[in-house]
Structure formats: structure tokens, C-alpha cells
């Protein structure tokens, strides 16, 4: 389909009609930086969600996932998010605190506690201070605004260096539909989110009216082809969460099997991919954005295994940081990936320049290859010449700064 949507300048999670947002300082961060956000729909919104598949899922993940499963109509009003403490591995006390947080936020909003989500990001194994949550709720509720999306995006940051927001718009029947979103995440990034099943949090809003099942059917493939295609360090968080809210305030209803439904899905995918791109660009200590494309694999799973093996190889990541075109490290990662392919038919290109031909040195001078890996963006094409399946992954390098950030994070 020809692109029929447009990106909104300075768009955010509060760009869609009927959504309000705020970001405030509740006191979770010792620095005094904003650390609490609230997102609210002025009318009930249908919601679809995707959550971490980590067995140590944090208390807010467990609670929000259960609320979504238990909801008969899938209608919710909003979410509160704290940054600085993950409320993960905190046992029954953590679950009780998460529930109490939602209850208090619901009272302030004047809605049913079952219709409010919570999310957290930060240190694992530390209990949340409910008094700080209450303070954050009070401050955020007073600050809610249709222009508050940027503040909310800033408040959910941890090791991020920049807030991450985006919005798109398209026309349906003479009316404008908006999709807005915010995310945070710079490290501990390889989500592998499951629909209904240093963290990646994403909150998406739309003023289209979309029934719950269709919203879920749109979110699942769009998440698979965006957040599940990125890896900063190969570590999956305990708190990864994506919530997609649709409130219908545009006056447009998206119905299954229509051109409008396909347009909505395409626009949603563009929003999530843009946020995924921003996350990798802001990866902890990252100096490279690495685009890995695998083609002509025997199966999609084989292509995926190859792309992920290269993306998560520490030897490849450190070579990229050093502007080293050492293709032997890429070959080694492909070899242990577990994928089925013929090594003797494998070709590799850096920025379109042949590096490996038929599983061996392509003969390109190393000085020429070095130029293909010393920029901010590195493109690696792996042609297995063994089938017709393909897969892509976006990743980053590993720098001295990455080690410093994560060595100092706890202390």
C-alpha cells in the first residue's frame, strides 16, 4: 500500500484526541529528575498489550497482564509509570504495592481500579515506596495536559539520554486519525514480547475506535516486526511492556477486513519501528547503529537465528566499536547460530562492498572495508544463497561507555 500517513512534527503520546499526559518528579530518582508519568484517556479506551516473556516478570507486569485478561470489555482509562525502581523480584509485597498504586490512581481519576494499569522501570529487587507513588499520582493528575506527552516521555527515562516520542496521522472519511507513542529503553534490550502472555516500556495511543480483538491482532505482528527485531545487549528485561489504547475520539471506527484497517496497521507498524530505531540509536554507550539483513535462507527461522547470532555476538559488537571489518567474527557467529545453510555458498557485504564470497575472503582490500564500518550506521548483508527466506535485526556496538554505565548502575 502506498504510504498514506504522515509523521507529526513534535508528535507524542498525547497527540491523539482525548488523551492527556504528564511527567513529574515524585522522588524515585536521587538526581531529582522527572520520574513519574501518567497517561489518561478522557473516555474509556480499548486496550491491547504485550509483555515480557521473562519468567521473573515484575509485579506491574503480572498485574497489568492479569487485568487485561480479566477485562470482559477491554475498556481502560489510563496507566501510571514510575522510573527508578522496577518493582521486580519483590514478592507478594511488590504485587500488593502495584495494586495499591492502581487503586490510588483510580480514586484520583474517579474511575474503577480495574481500569488502570501500572508500569515500572529501574532497579530490580527494591520495594516501591507507596507514599512516593501517591505523591506522583497527585502531582501528575494536576499536571495532565494534551501537551504533556513530551514531559511524560522524559519522566519514564532511566539510562536513556533522550526522550523518545512519535506520532503519525492519516485521513479516513474526511476525518483525521492520529497514533501517538512514547517509549524508553537504552540497555537490557532484547524484548521478545508476547501478546497476552533498564527495560523497554512503550505506550501507544490512537483516537480511532478499534475493538479489542482487532487491536490485539494489529499489535502482535507490528510488535514482532519492530521491538522484537532489536537488540542492544541481548538481555531481556523483567519489565518489558507495550500497551496500545484506542478511544475513538476522532469519530472514526476501524473495522476488520477494510482498507482502513490495513492503513491503521501499516501506520502502527511505522510508529513502533520508528521508536525501535530510536531505542537502538540511543543504546547505552552506542556509537554504531548496525542494520543486519539476512536473505536467501532456507527458512525464516534460519534467517532469524543467523541475524540474532551476529547481532548479539560480543566479538562482533566490539569489532564494530573499533571500526574493525573483521568478517571472521561474523562467520563464526553464523556458524554457531544453529541455522541450516551451506557455508560454502555464503556471501557477506558491508555497505554493499563484498567481504565474503562462497564462504571465503572476497578479496576486497581491508582498507576499503574499514570505510564501510567506521560511520554511525553500519549495514551488513548476509546472503546464504540457500532458499528464499529473509530476516532483519537492528543492533548496536559495545563500547567502553556501555561497560561504565552498567558497572556503575547499581552503585
114, 115, 121, 125: CA torsion to nearest 10: 0
Please indicate, yes or no, whether residues 238 and 330 belong to a single structural domain of this protein.
Answer: no
What does the pLDDT average to over 139-147?
Answer: 98
Nearest to 46 by CA among 201, 166, 216: 216
- Indicate whether 404 belongs to any domain: yes
CB 293 within 8 A of CB 311: no
Please indicate, yes or no, whether residues 272 and 298 belong to a single structural domain of this protein.
Answer: no
The backbone region for 32, taken as left when phi is positive above 0, alpha when psi lies in -120 to 50, beta otherwise, is: left
Catalytic residues, by residue number, are 199
Please indicate, yes or no, whether residues 385 and 255 belong to a single structural domain of this protein.
Answer: no
Q: How far apart, in Å, are the Cα atoms of 313 and each of 23, 92, 293, 333, 378? A: 37, 37, 15, 7, 15
Residue 293 C-alpha cell reads as 539483513
Please indicate, yes or no, whether residues 48 and 89 belong to a single structural domain of this protein.
Answer: yes
Nearest to 77 by CA among 118, 38, 42, 33: 42
Give the per-residue pLDDT at 235. Answer: 60
SS3 at position 355: strand
H or E element in which residue 254 lies: strand 253-254
- Indicate whether 348 belongs to any domain: yes
Into how many domains does the chain fold?
A: 2
- Alpha carbon distance 354, 351 (integer Å): 9
Residue 389: Cβ-neighbour burial (10 angstroms; 0-12, 13-18, 19+) = middle
What are the pLDDT digits (tens) for 326-368? Answer: 999 999 999 999 999 999 999 999 999 999 999 999 999 988 8
- Alpha carbon distance 75, 45 (integer Å): 5
Please indicate, yes or no, whether residues 295 and 320 belong to a single structural domain of this protein.
Answer: yes
Please indicate, yes or no, whether residues 97 and 47 belong to a single structural domain of this protein.
Answer: yes
Strand runs labelled E in 99-163: 116-123
Residue 194 has pLDDT above 50, yes or no: no
Give the per-residue SS3 of 290-305. EEEEEEEECCHHHHHH
What are the pLDDT digits (tens) for 61-97? Answer: 999 999 999 998 889 999 999 999 999 999 999 999 9
Of 281, 309, 332, which one is at a domain's C-terminal end? 281
Query: What is the value of pTM for the model shown?
Result: 0.90
Residue 265 C-alpha cell reads as 496497521
- Indicate whether 1 belongs to any domain: no
Please indicate, yes or no, whether residues 234 and 332 belong to a single structural domain of this protein.
Answer: no
Please indicate, yes or no, whether residues 104 and 204 belong to a single structural domain of this protein.
Answer: yes
H or E element in which residue 136 lies: helix 130-143
Residue 233 has pLDDT above 80, yes or no: no
Please indicate, yes or no, whether residues 190 and 271 belong to a single structural domain of this protein.
Answer: yes
CB 158 within 8 A of CB 198: yes
What does the pLDDT average to over 9-17?
Answer: 97
- Indicate whether 175 belongs to any domain: yes
Place of cell 548502575: 409
What domain range is 193 assigned to?
Answer: 6-281
Please indicate, yes or no, whether residues 216 and 179 belong to a single structural domain of this protein.
Answer: yes
Beta-carbon-side half-sphere exposure of residue 334 (alpha carbons within 13 Å)? 27
Please indicate, yes or no, whether residues 191 and 105 belong to a single structural domain of this protein.
Answer: yes
Amino acid at each position: 500500500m502506498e504510504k498514506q500517513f504522515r509523521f507529526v512534527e513534535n508528535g507524542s503520546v498525547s497527540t491523539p484526541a482525548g488523551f492527556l499526559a504528564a511527567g513529574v518528579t515524585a522522588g524515585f530518582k536521587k538526581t531529582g529528575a522527572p520520574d513519574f508519568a501518567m497517561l489518561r484517556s478522557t473516555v474509556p479506551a480499548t486496550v491491547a498489550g504485550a509483555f515480557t516473556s521473562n519468567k521473573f516478570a515484575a509485579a506491574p507486569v503480572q498485574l497489568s497482564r492479569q487485568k487485561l485478561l480479566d477485562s470482559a470489555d477491554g475498556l481502560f482509562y489510563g496507566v501510571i509509570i514510575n522510573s527508578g525502581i522496577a518493582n521486580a523480584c519483590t514478592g507478594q509485597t511488590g504485587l500488593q504495592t502495584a495494586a495499591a498504586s492502581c487503586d490510588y490512581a483510580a480514586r484520583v481519576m474517579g474511575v474503577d481500579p480495574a481500569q488502570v494499569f501500572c508500569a515500572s522501570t529501574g532497579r530490580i529487587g527494591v520495594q516501591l515506596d507507596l507514599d512516593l507513588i501517591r505523591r506522583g499520582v497527585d502531582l501528575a493528575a494536576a499536571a495532565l495536559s494534551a501537551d504533556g506527552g513530551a514531559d511524560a516521555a522524559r519522566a519514564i527515562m532511566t539510562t536513556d539520554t533522550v526522550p523518545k516520542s512519535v506520532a503519525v496521522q492519516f485521513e479516513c472519511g474526511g476525518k483525521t486519525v492520529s497514533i501517538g507513542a512514547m517509549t524508553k529503553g537504552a540497555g537490557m534490550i532484547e524484548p521478545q514480547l508476547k501478546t497476552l502472555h533498564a527495560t523497554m516500556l512503550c505506550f501507544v495511543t490512537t483516537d480511532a475506535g478499534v475493538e479489542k480483538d482487532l487491536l490485539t491482532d494489529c499489535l502482535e505482528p507490528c510488535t514482532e516486526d519492530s521491538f522484537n527485531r532489536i537488540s542492544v545487549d541481548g538481555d531481556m528485561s523483567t519489565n518489558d511492556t507495550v500497551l496500545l489504547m484506542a478511544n475513538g475520539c476522532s469519530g472514526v471506527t476501524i473495522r476488520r477486513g477494510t482498507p482502513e484497517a490495513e492503513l491503521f496497521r501499516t501506520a502502527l507498524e511505522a510508529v513502533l519501528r520508528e521508536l525501535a530505531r530510536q531505542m537502538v540509536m540511543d543504546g547505552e554507550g552506542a556509537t554504531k547503529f548496525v542494520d543486519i539483513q539476512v536473505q536467501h535462507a532456507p527458512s525464516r527461522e534460519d534467517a532469524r537465528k543467523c541475524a540474532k547470532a551476529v547481532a548479539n555476538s560480543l566479538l562482533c559488537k566490539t569489532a564494530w566499536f573499533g571500526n574493525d571489518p573483521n568478517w571472521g567474527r561474523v562467520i563464526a557467529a553464523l556458524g554457531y547460530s544453529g541455522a541450516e545453510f551451506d557455508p560454502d555458498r555464503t556471501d557477506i557485504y558491508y555497505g554493499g562492498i563484498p567481504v565474503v564470497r562462497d564462504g571465503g575472503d572476497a578479496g576486497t582490500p581491508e582498507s576499503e572495508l574499514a570505510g564501510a564500518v567506521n560511520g554511525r550506521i553500519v549495514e551488513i548483508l548476509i546472503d546464504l544463497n540457500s532458499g528464499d527466506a529473509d530476516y532483519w535485526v537492528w543492533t548496536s556496538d559495545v563500547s567502553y561507555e556501555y561497560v561504565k554505565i552498567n558497572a556503575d548502575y547499581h552503585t
